[in-house]
């Protein structure tokens, strides 16, 4: 069946998943010094989620989400259904959650956004692009069964 996920589709999904898993593992934010004393930087003592390397808080749930998306895409290769909506939903969820986190860190002067948060946002964007691209491609192509009078759109 021509509507099954292609190897490129699966590869892009796996890449987005690896980026998401790496983004969860890496730090999301770094504290900037609030001042200097005796030539040494002074930092606040507040706890900031995403400051450390590793899995804490919502990180395991994000890992489960991205792995579930890959499993759905791989299974769709052997089943008769499309995982496009799952990709768009998971990507949208990643973009909303981590977009809000990005905004909350970016809007405060004492924090600097780190590489992990950028990877999570790119992962969500890639999921959405792959899912939406597959839907658009399916609606914009003409199948041989449509006949000579078929038009795009």
Compute the mean pLDDT over every residue in the chain, rounded to the nearest whole number: 82
Burial class (CB in 10 A: 0-12, 13-18, 19+), 16: buried
User: Would you call 35 helix, strand, or coil by DSSP?
Assistant: strand
Q: What is the mean pLDDT of residues 147-152?
A: 54
Lowest mean pLDDT among 2-6, 25-29, 99-103, 130-134: 2-6
Q: Tokens at residue 68, please?
A: 């579930």
pLDDT at 94: 92
Residue 6 pLDDT greater than 90, yes or no: no
Confidence of residue 15 (pLDDT cuts 50, 70, 90): very high
116 Cα distance to chain centroid:
11
CATH class of the 7-137 domain in this structure = mainly alpha
Residue 147 pLDDT greater than 70, yes or no: no
Residue 1 pLDDT greater than 50, yes or no: no
Q: What is the mean pLDDT of residues 38-55?
A: 70
- CA dihedral defined by 138, 139, 145, 151, rounded to 10 degrees? -140
């Amino acid at each position: 069946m021509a509507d099954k996920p292609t190897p490129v589709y699966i590869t892009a999904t796996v890449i987005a998943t690896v980026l998401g898993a790496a983004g969860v593992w890496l730090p999301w934010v770094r504290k900037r010094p609030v001042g200097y004393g005796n030539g040494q930087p002074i930092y606040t003592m507040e706890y900031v989620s995403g400051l450390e390397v590793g899995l804490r808080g919502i990180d395991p749930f994000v890992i489960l989400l991205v792995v579930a998306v890959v499993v759905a895409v791989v299974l769709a290769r052997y089943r008769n259904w499309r995982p496009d909506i799952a990709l768009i939903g998971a990507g949208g969820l990643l973009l909303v959650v981590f977009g809000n986190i990005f905004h909350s860190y970016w809007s405060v002067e004492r924090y600097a956004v780190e590489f992990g948060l950028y990877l999570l946002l790119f992962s969500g964007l890639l999921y959405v692009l792959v899912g939406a691209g597959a839907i658009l491609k399916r609606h914009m192509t003409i199948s041989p069964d449509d006949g000579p009078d078929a038009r795009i759109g």
